[in-house]
Homo-oligomer: A and B are copies of this chain.
Amino acid sequence: MNHPAPPAAVRRPFPAELLAELTASFGERVSTSEAVRSHHGRDESPFDPQLPDAVVFAHSTDDVQAIVKLCARYGVPIIPYGNGSSLEGHLLAVQGGVSIDLSEMNRVLSINAEDLTVTVEPGISRKALNEALRDTGLFFPIDPGADASIGGMSATRASGTNAVRYGTMRENVLGLTAVLADGRIIKTGSRARKSSAGYDLTRLFVGSEGTLGVITEITVRLYPQPEAVSAAICTFHSMAEAVRAVIETIQIGVPVARVEFIDSLAVRAINRHSNLTLREAPTLFFEFHGTPAGVEEQAGLVQEIAAQNGGEGFEWATRPEDRSRLWNARHSAYFAMLQLKPGCRAVTTDVCVPISRLAECVIETEQDLKASPLPCPIVGHVGDGNFHVAMLIDPDKPEELAEAERLNRRIVERALAMDGTCTGEHGVGLHKMGFLVAEHGADTVDTMRAIKHALDPQNLMNPGKIFSWGA
């Protein structure tokens, strides 16, 4: 048994006429094969897959519009699918319906290097985007662990290791094109850096997890590649010391580009997976961006702060290949951690708290984890107050799942009591739905629901995610 989905909503009928019409329009780009549906009915979460009735591979906004109009006519749900790397059950077809695969809509539509913007289709991955930008001297900094699609990252309001300096998708999406539930196409925002022209629909769609429409184009901000980059690692006697060093760094305003926490167990996992020999201790990875002099100055300040907090073995990775190895290792942490327990799946937490509460939050969490039989490595974007516990469970042991969920609840409740959030960057999906009222209050969630009802009155768009349809 894998992770059961929340109380299953009733699957809606999938009329043969709809399939016939989709096939008439899209031919071989419609699939109802078990293998394709199975691939699209899951994500990286531990939930049991729930398969869509059909998958259609879209190649344009017009394709998406045509699919949405057909589904709307038959009252059939629509689930946008990018690279399948979400972690909270976002992609499961809990009410059946059509998965719109956007992975073949992966073109760069226009690079506006002078404006530091690029417009892309949703299926392009963050790595492919940066590859396309290679000769421009610019880069796109948002980097979740997986090589996620820009559309999926927009839909989940993703971030990653660079958010402490460059912000999240919230700050970096300037505008987008979306197909609404009734098939209308809207464009939000503009390429101007700022605007006060009406409601911020861009930010409303960023983080809406496919529940308000299908995002088919995205304009994001780019940044000049820093003239100088340096990275460093530093170990500590305890997680608390490491976190305190981060808090001081943020509070004095050092514009650190990345600062990542990795606990001893996660370091072990990374060492094994990436063939490294890092010291197995609570560790911070730092990166600094700027001019050569600026980087040196930042690094000097941070080294001093680290030393004052018990940091040891401050080591520099100055060569690009050493930095790449370090950050590739960090980005593969999720998969590395899974290998700590063969055959396991991970239940991940994603709380984010005000940085003044971070030390307290991680210390109390560490105590919970020590008292648990599950292996639970911790990694964190600690500069944002965000950290992840990967609770490694045997999918055939329901008691391990129950234990993971017990820990998860405690960690979320702790974060909410500290004025934090149940999810810093993964989104709500299915897994965090139960925490939304506790975090925001019933009236606030009801306000979100009123918007959903107004824009998607048939509940077609990724139904059953974020919050329930009825109060």
- A115 cross-chain contacts in B, Cβ below 8 A: 354-356
Given contacts A187-B441, A200-B157, A354-B117, contact A195 B454 (CB under 8 A): no
- The answer to whether the Cβ of A453 comes within 8 Å of any Cβ in the partner chain is yes
B158 to A421, Cβ gap below 8 A? Answer: no
- The answer to whether the Cβ of A50 comes within 8 Å of any Cβ in the partner chain is no
A199 to B207, Cβ gap below 8 A? Answer: yes
- The answer to whether the Cβ of A419 comes within 8 Å of any Cβ in the partner chain is yes
Shortest Cβ gap from A159 to chain B (Å): 6
A167 to B171, Cβ gap below 8 A? Answer: yes
A207 to B201, Cβ gap below 8 A? Answer: no
A198 to B466, Cβ gap below 8 A? Answer: yes
- A471 cross-chain contacts in B, Cβ below 8 A: none
Q: Which of A214-256 contact B (CB under 8 A)?
A: 223-224, 226, 247, 250-253, 255
Distance of A188 Cα from B223 Cα, bound (Å) = 30
Copies in the complex: 2
- The stretch that binds B, out of A312-320, A401-409, A443-451, is A443-451
B157 to A191, Cβ gap below 8 A? Answer: no
- The stretch that binds B, out of A364-372, A392-400, A423-431, is A423-431
Interface centre among A170, A251, A441, A444 (most CB of B within 10 A): A444
Q: Pick the contact of A186: B352, B427, B441 (CB < 8 A).
A: B441
- Report which A residues bind B (CB closer than 8 A): 112, 114-117, 156-159, 163, 167-168, 170-171, 180, 184-188, 190-201, 203-204, 206-208, 212, 223-224, 226, 247, 250-253, 255, 290-291, 293-294, 297, 350, 352-356, 384-386, 419-428, 432, 435-436, 439-441, 443-448, 450-455, 466-467
Q: Pick the contact of A352: B167, B194, B200 (CB < 8 A).
A: B194
Given contacts A247-B114, A443-B184, A444-B187, contact A198 B424 (CB under 8 A): no
A191 to B419, Cβ gap below 8 A? Answer: yes
Shortest Cβ gap from A384 to chain B (Å): 5
Distance of A443 Cα from B167 Cα, bound (Å) = 30
- A188 cross-chain contacts in B, Cβ below 8 A: 440, 444
Interchain residue pairs with CB less than 8 A apart (23): A114-B354, A115-B354, A170-B194, A186-B440, A188-B444, A190-B419, A190-B439, A192-B386, A192-B421, A193-B352, A194-B421, A195-B423, A196-B207, A196-B428, A197-B421, A197-B428, A198-B440, A198-B466, A199-B212, A200-B206, A201-B448, A204-B451, A450-B454
Given known contacts A168-B194, A196-B428, A203-B203, what 9 new A-B pairs fall within 8 Å (CB)? Answer: A116-B250, A116-B251, A163-B194, A171-B171, A186-B444, A187-B441, A192-B385, A195-B421, A197-B428
B354 to A198, Cβ gap below 8 A? Answer: no
A196 to B353, Cβ gap below 8 A? Answer: no
A352 to B192, Cβ gap below 8 A? Answer: yes
Shortest Cβ gap from A375 to chain B (Å): 26
Distance of A393 Cα from B373 Cα, bound (Å) = 76
Residue of B nearest to A422 (CB): B197
- A294 cross-chain contacts in B, Cβ below 8 A: 290, 293-294, 297
Residue of B nearest to A447 (CB): B186
Shortest Cβ gap from A446 to chain B (Å): 8
- A444 cross-chain contacts in B, Cβ below 8 A: 186-188, 201
